[in-house]
Amino acid sequence: MSEKQKKRSEIEDKYKWRLEDIYASDDLWEKDFSELKSKTEVMKDFKGKLTTDATNLQKGLELYFDIYRLLDKARNYACRKKDEDLNVAKYQEMVDRFNSLESNISAELVFVRTELTKMSGSEFENFVKENNNLVLYRFYMDEILRLKSYRLSDEEEKILAHATEIMGAPENIYSMLNDADIKFPIFKNDLGNEIELTQGNYIKNVQSGDRNVRRDVFEKFYETYLAYKNTFASMLNSDIKAHIFSAKTRKYKSTLVQSLYQDNIEESLYQNLINTIHNNFDKFHKYYKVRKEYMKLDEQHMYDIYVPMLKDIDKEISYDEAVIIIKEALKILGEDYNENMNKGFNDGWIDIYENEGKRSGAYSSGSYESKPYILLNHENNLNSLFTIAHEMGHSMHSYYSNKNQPYIYADYTMFVAEVASTVNEILVIKHLLKNTKTKEEKMYLLNHFMDQFKGTVFRQVQFAEFEKMLHEKTESGEAISADKLCELYHDLNKLYYGENVISDDLIKVEWARIPHFYYDFYVYKYATGFSAAVAIAEKISSGDKEALDNYLLFLKSGGSDYPIELLKKAGVDMSTPEPVQAALNVFGKLVDEFEKLANEK
Is the separation of the CB atoms in 391 and 383 below 8 Å?
no
Does 64 reside within a domain?
yes
Q: Can you give the pLDDT at residue 62?
A: 98
Nearest to 221 by CA among 307, 325, 302: 302
305 and 431, same domain (yes or no): yes
Looking at the DSSP bridge assignments, the partners of residue 364 are 374
Does 322 reside within a domain?
no
Average of per-residue pLDDT across 462-482: 97
Does 448 reside within a domain?
yes
Q: How confident is the model at residue 159 (pLDDT cuts 50, 70, 90)?
A: confident
Domain count along the chain: 3
> In this predicted structure, which of 199-213, 242-256, 305-319, 488-502 has the lowest mean pLDDT?
305-319
Is the separation of the CB atoms in 267 and 260 below 8 Å?
yes
Q: Can you give the pLDDT at residue 315?
A: 75
Q: What are phi and psi of 195, to 5 degrees?
A: -135, 145
The length of the chain, given as a count of residues: 601
Q: Is the pLDDT of residue 151 over 90?
A: no
124 and 35, same domain (yes or no): yes
Q: Can you give the pLDDT at residue 162?
A: 78
Q: Can you give the pLDDT at residue 158?
A: 78
pLDDT per residue as tens digits for the range 87-110: 999 999 999 999 999 989 988 998
Instruction: Supply the range of the domain harboring residue 545.
Output: 270-313+413-601
417 and 461, same domain (yes or no): yes
Is the separation of the CB atoms in 82 and 91 below 8 Å?
yes
Secondary structure letter of residue 503 according to DSSP? -
Q: Can you give the pLDDT at residue 312?
A: 66
Other CB atoms closer than 10 Å to residue 240's CB: what's the count? 22
Is the separation of the CB atoms in 217 and 187 below 8 Å?
yes
Helix (H) or strand (E) holding 195: strand 194-196
Other CB atoms closer than 10 Å to residue 129's CB: what's the count? 9
d(CA 65, CA 410): 12
205 and 284, same domain (yes or no): no
Side chain identity at 517, as an amino acid letter? F
Is the separation of the CB atoms in 459 and 467 below 8 Å?
no
Q: Residue 273, class by beta-carbon neighbours within 10 Å (0-12 exposed, 13-18 middle, 19+ buried)?
A: buried
Does 459 reside within a domain?
yes
Q: Can you give the pLDDT at residue 383?
A: 87
- Domain of 195, CATH number, reads 1.10.287.830
Q: Can you give the pLDDT at residue 313?
A: 67
Q: Is the pLDDT of residue 483 over 60?
A: yes
Nearest to 140 by CA among 404, 416, 408: 408
pLDDT per residue as tens digits for the range 518-529: 988 989 999 999
Q: What are phi and psi of 363, to 5 degrees?
A: -160, 165
Q: Can you give the pLDDT at residue 3?
A: 55
Q: What are phi and psi of 197, to 5 degrees?
A: -70, 135
> In this predicted structure, which of 49-63, 427-441, 498-512 has the lowest mean pLDDT?
427-441
Q: How confident is the model at residue 78 (pLDDT cuts 50, 70, 90)?
A: very high
Does 291 reside within a domain?
yes
128 and 208, same domain (yes or no): no
d(CA 166, CA 503): 37
| Residue where a domain stops, chosen among 193, 223, 253 | 223
Query: Who contacts 5 (Cβ-Cβ below 8 Å, separation ≥6)?
Result: 354, 355, 356
What counts of helices (H) and strands (E) characterise the chain? Answer: 27, 5
Q: Where are the beta strands (DSSP E) in 340-440?
A: 350-351, 363-365, 373-375
417 and 462, same domain (yes or no): yes
For the chain, percent of residues with pLDDT exceeding 70: 99
| Residue where a domain stops, chosen among 150, 172, 203 | 150
- Write the CA distances from 271 to 57, 260, 262, integer angstroms: 41, 12, 17
Secondary structure letter of residue 13 according to DSSP? G
Q: Is the pLDDT of residue 502 over 90?
A: yes
Is the separation of the CB atoms in 256 and 270 below 8 Å?
yes
Does 75 reside within a domain?
yes
Nearest to 302 by CA among 525, 489, 530, 526: 489
Q: Is the pLDDT of residue 352 over 80?
A: yes
Query: Who contacts 548 (Cβ-Cβ below 8 Å, separation ≥6)?
Result: 332, 333, 334, 540
- Domain of 85, CATH number, reads 1.20.140.70
d(CA 37, CA 104): 10
- Domain of 419, CATH number, reads 1.10.1370.20
First-to-last C-alpha distance (Å) of the chain: 38
126 and 194, same domain (yes or no): no
For the range 253-259, what are the long-range contacts, defined as Cβ-Cβ under 8 Å and sequence gap of 24 or more?
Answer: 254/471, 254/472, 254/475, 255/471, 255/475, 255/520, 255/521, 256/468, 256/471, 256/472, 256/521, 258/150, 259/520, 259/521
d(CA 492, CA 462): 7
Helix (H) or strand (E) holding 363: strand 363-365
Is the separation of the CB atoms in 571 and 460 below 8 Å?
no
309 and 216, same domain (yes or no): no
Is the separation of the CB atoms in 549 and 439 below 8 Å?
no
- Write the CA distances from 435 to 441, 575, 591, integer angstroms: 10, 36, 19
pLDDT per residue as tens digits for the range 531-564: 999 999 999 999 999 999 999 999 999 999 999 9
Nearest to 334 by CA among 545, 528, 492: 545
Is the separation of the CB atoms in 373 and 364 below 8 Å?
yes
| 3 state SS of 351 | strand
Average of per-residue pLDDT across 118-147: 96
Regarding beta strands 350-351 and 373-375, do their DSSP bridges make them parallel or antiparallel, or are they unpaired? parallel
Higher confidence at residue 380 or residue 273?
A: 273
Nearest to 81 by CA among 70, 68, 95: 95
423 and 531, same domain (yes or no): yes
Does 348 reside within a domain?
no
126 and 26, same domain (yes or no): yes
Q: Is the pLDDT of residue 64 over 70?
A: yes
558 and 455, same domain (yes or no): yes
Secondary structure letter of residue 301 according to DSSP? B
Q: Is the pLDDT of residue 2 over 60?
A: no
Is the separation of the CB atoms in 113 and 144 below 8 Å?
yes
d(CA 413, CA 416): 6
191 and 288, same domain (yes or no): no
Secondary structure letter of residue 376 according to DSSP? -
Average of per-residue pLDDT across 553-578: 96
pLDDT per residue as tens digits for the range 370-427: 999 999 999 988 889 999 999 999 999 999 999 999 999 999 999 999 999 999 999 9
For the chain, percent of residues with pLDDT exceeding 90: 87
Is the separation of the CB atoms in 209 and 242 below 8 Å?
no
Regarding beta strands 194-196 and 350-351, do their DSSP bridges make them parallel or antiparallel, or are they unpaired? unpaired
Task: Indicate the average pLDDT of the chain.
Answer: 94
Looking at the DSSP bridge assignments, the partners of residue 268 are none
Does 194 reside within a domain?
yes
Is the separation of the CB atoms in 432 and 321 below 8 Å?
no
Q: Can you give the pLDDT at residue 314?
A: 59
Q: Is 84 a catalytic residue?
A: no
Q: How confident is the model at residue 1 (pLDDT cuts 50, 70, 90)?
A: very low
| 3 state SS of 355 | coil
Catalytic site residue from 391, 418, 510, 595? 391
